[in-house]
Structure 1
Amino acid sequence: MTTGMAVTGTATMTGIWAQPDRAYRIAQAKDSRFDGWFIVAVRTTGIYCRPSCPARTPNRENTQFFPTAAAAQNAGFRACRRCLPDALPGSPEWDLRADLAGRAMRLIADGVIEREGVAGLASRLGYSQRHVTRVLTEELGAGPLSLARAHRAHAARLLIETTALSFSDIAFASGFASVRQFNDTIGAVYAATPSRLRSARHRRVADTQGRLAVRLPVRAPMDSAGVLGFLATRAIPGVEELTEDGYARTLRLPHGPAVVRLRFEDGSGGRAAVHCSFSLTDVRDLATAVTRVRRLLDLDADPVAVDEVLGADPALRDSVTASPGIRVPGAVDAAELIVRAVLGQQVSVAAARTALGRLCAELGDRITEPDGTLRTLFPTAEVLAERGGEVLRGPRRRVETVVGAMRALADGSLGAHLGRDPAELRADLEALPGIGPWTAGYVVLRLLGAPDVLLTGDLALRKGAEALGLPDTVNGLLRHANRWRPWGSYAGMHLWRAAHLASAERAPARSA
């Protein structure tokens, strides 16, 4: 199957922090759309803030701009306790950028340095530690250890403010080597002791039944109905479920299994959020779990920029108006996504869901304390490589493709993680027997959150194009798609939705 795919490495808003006059105008306007894109630091107070901080805008000569909170901390600034600049949607830049810095930031957010150190980060990126440190310091104003330190500080603050855990438990759960290091970092970053942070949090959400409650901010608008619909139609029994007010699923995390329950808050005045309730085996996994939920729901997207570009195309204008803030759902596990893609490339969504349910029921690990119907983890690559052929039904070649891909994941010959270069990952996938351009493109689209992947060979996507009056041939659609860059992935979601609406009374078209 032919696939059209383009991955960009830059965006129109990349590097706002390096454009001080523009950054200052954004800070003056207190434009929340740019929260997470850059940091505003005030020399006279030693505080750094988000661009929309409600405090009085400092004079231009007293401001300094940084790409990350870690860079501001390295320069001696402390986080504003009023606007909480670390409690932000992540920068869309890390999805737009396929370069070393962007890939490193995705891995650091997933907790790789806490688990594997800088050596592990560098190994995943395919460079020496020295080179990775040099590039991150030059481009982001902070090396990998400083970036990880900022990540740990944010994880610690979440636990301080949302749990009743002791500070010593929080220190080690957040990845600090000692309580002293924890206290020193909290003091340096927030200019407060852990006790003061906890007492200042007047509306702390109490834990219930061992769960941790976290509110994740979202850039509005957010097409929550579209995300829920996408996840619900693909939900694997025992692993995922659609709830009365949201979505829930099991997670396989570094230190043990977990269950997350999600509820969307549309909010008022553009203050959308997702409320998460985590049941964790080990509280050290909280920050990683949060990062994976953010990627699953594509919460760090820039919906205003996406809608402006796609809405300018008359063919997509009505769809953008009907579904503002469309998202591209991501993935929480590489093995799960690859199996979904391979099984879904030749059958309907419903048939793929049935096959995946049987696979998980027979090979998935059972969690010790089931949460309602959620009692199963998606099988590991190792288990699928060994026993997948015994359980999977259907054409022999398709079964062999799944088993072969899982074997490559299990033995390390296929690296499928957030630090991969999109083009290199695509090439590695296509080198595996039975995996073609469509499957490889779909994995890159959802695993890496690549913003400009258009699966022009997808039958449902081309039916959507036809329904919207767009060219429905591969070459014709590719030519038209030039006007959608760098948001081809989001345009694809609109085309899939158009196909679904056009065939609502018929059998659903194939799409994984």
Structure 2
Amino acid sequence: MDLDDTQCYRAVRAHDSRFDGRFFVGVRTTRIYCRPVCTARTPLKHNCRFFPSAAAAEVQGFRPCLRCRPELAPGYAVVDANQRLARSAANLIEDGRLQDANLAELARTLDVTDRHLRRVFQQEFGVSPVEYAQTQRLLLAKRLLTDTDLTVLDVAMASGFASLRRFNDLFRTRYRMTPGELRRTTPSREPTGRLTFDLAFRPPYDWEAMLAFLGRRAIAGVEQIDGRRYRRTMRVAGAGGKEATGWIEVAPSPRRSALRIHASASLAGAVPTVLARAKCLFDLACHPDQVAAALGPLGEAHPGLRLAGSVDGFEIAVRAILGQQVTVAAATTIAGRFARAFGTAIVTPFAGLDHVFPRAGEIAVLEPGDIAKHGVIAARARAIIALAKAIDSGALRLDPAAPVEATLAALEALPGIGPWTAHYIAMRALAWPDAFPHPDVAVIKAIGEKPRAALAASEQWRPWRAYAVLHLWKSLEKKP
């Protein structure tokens, strides 16, 4: 956003949650920076400086507020091309990609030059990608010191620092206190065998609708709903590319406007990736006010609907293929058989949550008959194997940083994947807010037009057509 001082200060005085995470305010007299929603005494306007990112504030010598905790601010969802590129790079950085790679490799992942990436990133966040990454590591360490019982050494390693000495020196220089001094300001914690984090969002958030959406599509053994809690297994890459498996449990936080994430201790070495995947899965970077403005009357009945993302693009793509021309319930049943047949068994504290979804590489070596015998039509089995080979070879990426148009084209070039499947995958695995799976029977029914007219009608909801799809699906639930 363009940082207009008057608008920003008005948001700070009102503690306006719509601007949480969109900018940060630094106070010249205290050299502390805060979120717009901070409950501390509002500083005088002439003492305020406004920054597009936490990293920009820290580079100018401000340290994070211990009350509002800038590391808890929700992310920034964008659809403009350059903004999306910068946000994609930021997502990869938050996912820990710069721990094991350099900027040139990150730029290649995004299919741009490192010079262009630096320019776009600087314009969006006010700092270089490397400076942004350093701040993200420090803020993650601050969160782990505050919210977990991990040792300082484990915190340093989990945050991506190569040595404890480097971590201590940088923490002291940037925050004017040592990690041990920060920990002494927080309540002591009993070891629990799990990690706990609060992830903020901008209200409203329709948690019941999100649970209903995920619950209808929950893959047996991999996901489950228990009351108002969502649970799933995860397999993620941690520092140094080391794989970690475990589970997460998610429910509304007792704190205002946040989801509380419990994660197994086995995922401690991959915390950046776990949190990044959770943010994507639950669409925590959404700006409901922007979506509502674009959807108009369509969005009025359910203003808090969010776009369910993914923690594993391959899993979502397989699920989409299995869902072709069958009911949601039938696809869910088949997906459960697929996960149990080819996934990896793990132990969790939750009965029935006992498998991790298979890797693309494990499916790429199969024959269509291996999959078909579990109730999958032969054509779809071939499509799944072709998809797995494309992902395993690196020819196809399915994550929010992947280029949308190129990925859609690559998906539709695979056997058995048409526009509907490709856009559904983009909607969830790529977190693309303008995806429009067409022709979707339910969408066409809800709009009340023929397919071509329904597609034309969708133009009014750009660039948030994926959210329009959610509202159209939701509208049919009320009808017999």
Category of TM-score, reference length = shorter chain: over 0.9
Where does structure 1 lack aligned partners over 5 or more consecutive residues? Answer: 1-14, 467-471, 504-512
Is residue 128 from structure 1 mapped to residue 108 from structure 2 by the alignment? no
Is residue 460 from structure 1 mapped to residue 442 from structure 2 by the alignment? yes
For residues 223 and 66 of structure 2, the distance between their equivalents in structure 1, rounded to whole angstroms, comes to 37
2:371 to 369, 385, 391: 391
2:224 to 224, 241, 266: 241
1:92: which partner in 2?
77
Residues 246 and 282 of structure 1, relative CA distance in 2, 3 Å threshold? closer
**1:274-285 aligned within 5 A:** 274-285=259-270
2:63: which partner in 1?
78
Is residue 497 from structure 1 mapped to residue 477 from structure 2 by the alignment? no
For residues 337 and 67 of structure 2, the distance between their equivalents in structure 1, rounded to whole angstroms, comes to 50
SS at match of 2:101: helix
**1:396-411 aligned within 5 A:** 396-411=378-393
1:258: which partner in 2?
246
Q: Give the CA RMSD over aligned residues.
A: 2.2
Q: Cα deviations across residues 51-90 of structure 1 (Å, max 9, x unaligned)?
A: 1222333333332222111111122221122221221111
Which shifted more, 245-254 or 93-102? 93-102
The answer to whether the Cα contact below 8 Å between 1:167 and 1:194 also exists between their aligned partners in 2 is yes
The answer to whether the Cα contact below 8 Å between 2:137 and 2:160 also exists between their aligned partners in 1 is yes
- How far 1:278 sits from its partner (Å)? 0.5
The residue type equivalent to 1:30 in the other structure is H
**1:294-443 aligned within 5 A:** 294-310=279-295, 312-313=296-297, 316=298, 320-321=300-301, 323-368=302-347, 371-387=350-366, 389=368, 390-392=370-372, 393-443=375-425
Q: Cα deviations across residues 449-487 of structure 1 (Å, max 9, x unaligned)?
A: 222223241111222223xxxxx2233233333332332
For residues 83 and 7 of structure 2, the distance between their equivalents in structure 1, rounded to whole angstroms, comes to 24
2:97: which partner in 1?
112
1:46 to 31, 34, 51: 31
Is residue 201 from structure 1 mapped to residue 183 from structure 2 by the alignment? no
1:227: which partner in 2?
210
SS at match of 1:350: helix
% of aligned pairs identical?
39
Structure with the bigger RCO (C-alpha within 8 Å, sep 6+) is 1
Q: Cα deviations across residues 2-34 of structure 1 (Å, max 9, x unaligned)?
A: xxxxxxxxxxxxx132x3332222223221221
For residues 275 and 491 of structure 1, the distance between their equivalents in structure 2, rounded to whole angstroms, comes to 27
The answer to whether the Cα contact below 8 Å between 2:423 and 2:437 also exists between their aligned partners in 1 is yes
For residues 449 and 190 of structure 1, the distance between their equivalents in structure 2, rounded to whole angstroms, comes to 34
For residues 207 and 373 of structure 1, the distance between their equivalents in structure 2, rounded to whole angstroms, comes to 25
SS at match of 1:325: coil
- How far 1:94 sits from its partner (Å)? 7.3
Q: Cα deviations across residues 251-301 of structure 1 (Å, max 9, x unaligned)?
A: 11113101001112476xxx2221111014241211211111111111221
Where does structure 2 lack aligned partners over 5 or more consecutive residues? Answer: 238-242
The answer to whether the Cα contact below 8 Å between 1:95 and 1:451 also exists between their aligned partners in 2 is no
Q: Cα deviations across residues 138-158 of structure 1 (Å, max 9, x unaligned)?
A: 432211221111211122122
For residues 465 and 254 of structure 2, the distance between their equivalents in structure 1, rounded to whole angstroms, comes to 26
- How far 1:97 sits from its partner (Å)? 6.2
Q: Cα deviations across residues 145-204 of structure 1 (Å, max 9, x unaligned)?
A: 2111121112212221122222112111111111122123323443322122222223x6
The answer to whether the Cα contact below 8 Å between 1:27 and 1:57 also exists between their aligned partners in 2 is yes
SS at match of 1:236: coil
Residues 366 and 115 of structure 1, relative CA distance in 2, 3 Å threshold? farther
Which shifted more, 455-464 or 478-487? 478-487
The number of equivalent residue pairs is 472
SS at match of 1:165: coil
Which shifted more, 282-291 or 366-375? 366-375
For residues 441 and 98 of structure 1, the distance between their equivalents in structure 2, rounded to whole angstroms, comes to 21
Is residue 286 from structure 1 mapped to residue 271 from structure 2 by the alignment? yes
Residues 183 and 443 of structure 1, relative CA distance in 2, 3 Å threshold? same
Is residue 487 from structure 1 mapped to residue 464 from structure 2 by the alignment? yes
The residue type equivalent to 1:395 in the other structure is I
